[in-house]
Structure 1
């Protein structure tokens, strides 16, 4: 009986010590925190950013990375601060508001005197090889909304790739830069009403 109790206590201590040494999760965001205020003159339109769609295998709470042999790795300790589609939507929205000097009006009644440019984004690829590179491929559709009518303007596609530093912080910084590149492409297509 004493041996059984001693084994139970030893097992409990090992379990507790294992919990105490486990690495706490780290949370990452694609929103880079740029708080640069927009220019004084406001754009003659507002934007409505629809929910971003991503492939199912990437729509995970954890960061999904790749290895050189084609294996996919899902980290238990590197997590997105919010669901990946919302991270992407927030990152793109912030960049577009600043670069276009406008506001995003989802869930709001848009101003009567300004047309709404609807933006639908579909991510086809968001791959990452830590310490090597990260890439993104995105398609977006623009629509010009005036009252109850909606006119489709444009469907565009872009892809970008950047070298990545080692570790998750360096990788996420690279992915933030990729989101800025995509936002710049979308902004240019809104300004020129053509794909670049």
Structure 2
């Protein structure tokens, strides 16, 4: 009969020892969220005309970027998904808006809309974009590979181009990588604006 109290005491001691472990299991690392940004608007004179209505999209993104986690490269054939470093919204939508913000300062577009268009309207010029890659390596560089086509109001292709961009990250963390990716969008916007002006 003396065995029961000893067994009960042992169980209580084991439970007490496990409490710190259980408390530790309830904590997790905080999640950090990031967004692409465009340069602040300049107060200089407006972009030169002619002013046509311009639509951006559709923007096609590769499936590997269709996730909230930031994707980085560990090598030529290895990728990493950061569980606690995430985009604040779908990256395709963030990319499209950042590109539109950049273009607003580079071309005269009235109005400048994103796909899908507002009901009852179709822009004079449309930029259709296919992104092949948009990622990078922490502490090293970010890169973007994309193709785009400028269409007229009837859907006829006026030009088609493809380009690849690289931008050094100014720091070792995810914030520096997101900033480098934002600069990539700025570079891309300048080439898109050039192709629009050529028409």
TM-score, structure 2 normalization: 0.81
Match of 1:58?
A: 65
Match of 2:187?
A: 181
Distance of aligned partners of 1:85 and 1:10 in 2 relative to their CA distance in 1, 3 Å threshold: farther
Distance (whole Å) between structure 2 residues aligned to residue 38 and residue 3 of structure 1: 78
Residue 24 (str. 1) matches residue 34 (str. 2): no
Match of 2:89?
A: 82
Residue 157 (str. 1) matches residue 199 (str. 2): no
Number of positions where the alignment pairs a residue of Structure 1 with one of Structure 2? 187
Which segment drifts farther, 4-13 or 173-182? 4-13
- Alpha-carbon displacement from aligned partner over 1:70-116 (angstroms, at most 9, x marks no partner): 3211101110111111111111111111211324224336889xx52
- Please tell me whether the aligned partners of residues 38 and 102 of structure 2 are also in contact (alpha carbons under 8 angstroms): no
- Please tell me whether the aligned partners of residues 51 and 86 of structure 1 are also in contact (alpha carbons under 8 angstroms): no
Unaligned 5+ residue runs, structure 2?
A: 1-7
Computed over aligned residues only, the root mean square deviation of the Cα atoms, in angstroms, reads 2.5
Larger radius of gyration: 2
Distance of aligned partners of 1:38 and 1:116 in 2 relative to their CA distance in 1, 3 Å threshold: farther
Distance of aligned partners of 1:105 and 1:8 in 2 relative to their CA distance in 1, 3 Å threshold: same
SS of 1:121's equivalent in the other structure is: strand
Match of 2:137?
A: 129
Distance (whole Å) between structure 1 residues aligned to residue 48 and residue 15 of structure 2: 69
Residue 104 (str. 1) matches residue 104 (str. 2): no
SS of 1:95's equivalent in the other structure is: helix
Cα deviation, residue 125, structure 1: 1.6
Distance of aligned partners of 1:105 and 1:7 in 2 relative to their CA distance in 1, 3 Å threshold: same
Unaligned 5+ residue runs, structure 1?
A: none
Residue 171 (str. 1) matches residue 177 (str. 2): yes
TM-score, structure 1 normalization: 0.82
SS of 2:82's equivalent in the other structure is: strand
